[in-house]
Amino acid sequence: MRFLIISLCLVLVSCGSYSKKYGLQSEPVSINTIENVYFDSASTDYVYKANITVYGNNFGGLLIVKKLAENNHRVAFTTEFGNKIFDFSFIDDSFKVNFILEDLNKKMLINILKQDFSTLIKSNLPVRASFKIDNFNILKSEKDKSDLYYYFSNSNLSKIESVKHQKPKTIFLFSEIKNSFAQKIEIVHQSIKLHINLKALNQ
């Protein structure tokens, strides 16, 4: 009985919602979908100088994102000499590994990279709730059993927080926004040693 009471208390403490925990003020929902324009042009090759640190190993090179059609993106990471590190296809809700370096060919890591880049390029997600805090308008959606909170400042997407069990697990930061293009992107994981820095080369 004592163990049951303690367990119940822990559950109740952990179930405080993300919005209440971080002081988000609920707002009426005024739009139906969330638009992420940063990788939405089929006429643009998005090329970033990339640095990926994973469990103490550092990989530097170029990240290329290409929108081939609606809900169809190709994401490739190469060395600056053109040797592939990984190459992924995202078509609708399907995912394909075209190539990945043997050192990175681990199921857990592939799944994390899949989630990261899927979140990065995904647009037109349904809005589940709307909030406001300071100068941010925040839209909540859901994908792959995670809650996604999109933070907009002056109509520009500044941050995405991927939340599980009411805690941020992955944070996407967008800065130096010019003409619907994020010059700098940072992907920060809270519970694993994976960090991705991207700096635009072609804008």
31 has a pLDDT exceeding 70: yes
pLDDT in tens, 149-178: 999 999 999 999 999 989 999 999 999 998
* Residues 6+ away with beta carbon under 8 Å from 55: 193, 194
Residue 22: its pLDDT value, please?
87
By the 8 A CB rule, do 154 and 136 touch? no
Please compute the mean of the pLDDT values over residues 8-15 and round it to a whole number. Answer: 43
Q: 145 pLDDT band (50/70/90 cuts)?
A: confident
Residue 179: its pLDDT value, please?
85
Q: Which range among 7-21, 62-76, 117-131, 183-197 shows the weakest confidence by mean pLDDT?
A: 7-21
By the 8 A CB rule, do 50 and 35 touch? no
Residue 168: its pLDDT value, please?
94
Please compute the mean of the pLDDT values over residues 133-147 and round it to a whole number. Answer: 93
Q: How far apart, in Å, are the Cα atoms of 125 and each of 29, 53, 92, 113, 164?
A: 14, 29, 12, 19, 18
Which strand (E) or helix (H) includes residue 117?
A: helix 107-121
**Averaged pLDDT score across all residues of the chain:** 90
CA distance 146 to 17: 13
Q: 144 pLDDT band (50/70/90 cuts)?
A: confident
97 has a pLDDT exceeding 70: yes
5 has a pLDDT exceeding 80: no
**Terminal-to-terminal C-alpha distance of the chain:** 63
- Residue 9, SS3? helix
Q: 6 pLDDT band (50/70/90 cuts)?
A: very low
46 has a pLDDT exceeding 80: yes
The DSSP output letter for 16 is -
Whole-prediction pTM: 0.89
Q: Which domains does the chain have, with CATH numbers?
A: 18-200 (2.50.20)
